[in-house]
Structure 1
Amino acid sequence: MNAKQWRVGIFLFNDVEVLDFAGPFEVFSVAALENGQKPFVVETVSEKGTMIYARNGLKVQPDFSFDTMPKFDILVIPGGPGAREREINNDKVITWIESQMKNVQLMTSVCTGALLLAKAGLLKDKMATTHWASYERLEKEFPEVEVQRDVKFVDEGNVITSGGISAGINMTFHIVKRLVGPQVAQGTAKRMEYDIII
């Protein structure tokens, strides 16, 4: 009998912070059970499915558009200039994030992706974190969110937010540990040569 597999969707957009999505992509993709089976299938999605230009010009071709994507179990909403300056004002994106909440087991954000979750109403009366440079913005614009400072991530059950950029890696290890156990998380960290306390 096969172990459970989770389908992970990572949202991409122009000026997304590279490590915000590449960090979780790497952790989820590298994670493997003792028998070699992969517990996570990782795919990318953007609004239109066309090539996106990540921060500093990295070109990425998403797997799906909003219209062609499958149902995801875990959704990762990264941050970056594109999130806090443009996507937060993109009604189609905010409505899509809000609508995905009823489909996914875990809704997650990295860095200023938390602003998009807050705008979609998903952080109401919850504790959350974001990049340190955006603590005050999150508090000011979304007073219903209980902002947590100086933490790598905040787990609120079905919603998990992480701090800036590399903190998304810590959050993803936490998810791996939570869903498939500390041994798999430890093994993944070892393969990645990433120092983490599991």
Structure 2
Amino acid sequence: MPQTPFAPIRRFILAGLTVAGLLLPAAGAAARPTADGSPAKAPRTLRSVAFLVVDGVYNTELTAPLDVFQHVRFHSADDWPETFLVSPDGRSVTSFEGLTIQPDYSFANAPPIDLLVVPSAEGSMTSDLDNQALLDWVRRTGRKARHVMSLCDGAFVLAEAGLLDGLEATTFPGDQDRFEARFTRVKLVRDVIFVDAGHALTSVGGARSFDVALWLVEQLYGVKAARGIGQGLVLDWDATSVPHRLARP
């Protein structure tokens, strides 16, 4: 190709951008190799999803979002989160419906958590709100996490830990008056299935506990992954058909 008068100038500009670190690699370029020479993997969207389990946890509010996030691995290639259960002391707990649940970790040895899920439990509006060790762990872990999520009355625990202050949130419809009276720094949203307030997502729970989990999967991994997971669970997922409130700051 004939040399143009602008070629030296163009080479100079490109060289300057490269030195300055402003010239990005072309799409599809190989990642910088690791120490052993293999290509580096891109960081996962979510490294981990942890589910808080205590005695009296309700089956549906635990298993619905757990099903959703465990199935991400079948719809998102290498980008899927580890899922695990955490109880206060690492010992087994008994659900409200009588299932024995063996957690993977305790508060003391749980690994870093990107999404903390707090299902409703029998004591979510009573004894759990007086359990300072539990609240301290939820507060500390939730502040470090990318997201926190509650199902049903799990919102009471998040709110008591201060993680919903200044945000919009929802909870089980029959307990919304009680929630609104207790947590005056949280704006209660009624007549929706879930609220996405950015860092915190809250749901009415029950059988609708699938919805908020599928919504977050759609936001993080795309609508195809969310609908694929829904199909596997025999759920016709369509966010536009689910009443919800998008209230991100």
TM-score by length of 1: 0.94
Task: Give unmatched runs, 5+ long, in structure 2.
Answer: 1-40, 240-249
Contact 1:118–1:142 (CA under 8 A) maintained in structure 2: yes
Alignment of 1:79-94 (within 5 A): 79-94=120-135
Correspondence 1:66 to 2:96: no
Structure 2 Cα separation of the partners of residues 101 and 35 of structure 1: 25
Structure 1 Cα separation of the partners of residues 94 and 76 of structure 2: 37
Match of 1:126 among 164, 167, 172: 167
The one-letter amino acid paired with 1:4 is: R
Alignment RMSD (CA, Å): 1.5
Contact 2:44–2:79 (CA under 8 A) maintained in structure 1: no
Correspondence 1:195 to 2:229: no
Task: Give unmatched runs, 5+ long, in structure 1.
Answer: none
Structure 2 Cα separation of the partners of residues 104 and 146 of structure 1: 22
Structure 2 Cα separation of the partners of residues 22 and 85 of structure 1: 23
Structure 2 Cα separation of the partners of residues 121 and 169 of structure 1: 25
Structure 1 Cα separation of the partners of residues 68 and 84 of structure 2: 13
Q: Which residue number in structure 2 is paired with residue 11 of structure 1?
A: 52
Match of 2:158 among 93, 109, 117: 117
TM-superposed CA distance for 1:122, in Å, is: 1.2
Using CA pairs under 8 Å that are at least 6 residues apart, name the structure with larger relative contact order, 1 or 2. Answer: 1
Structure 1 Cα separation of the partners of residues 136 and 219 of structure 2: 28
After superposition, the C-alpha distances for 1:78-104 in whole angstroms (9 at most, x for unaligned) are 113122232111011111111112321
Correspondence 1:173 to 2:203: no
The one-letter amino acid paired with 2:136 is: T
Tell me the number of residue pairs that the alignment of Structure 1 and Structure 2 aligns. 198
Q: Which residue number in structure 2 is paired with residue 147 of structure 1?
A: 188
TM-score by length of 2: 0.76
Residue 34 to residue 114, structure 1, CA distance change in 2 (3 Å): closer
Correspondence 1:30 to 2:71: yes
Structure 1 Cα separation of the partners of residues 181 and 170 of structure 2: 14
Residue 139 to residue 27, structure 1, CA distance change in 2 (3 Å): same
After superposition, the C-alpha distances for 1:44-72 in whole angstroms (9 at most, x for unaligned) are 00101101001121100000000010001
Higher Rg: 2
Residue 194 to residue 139, structure 1, CA distance change in 2 (3 Å): same
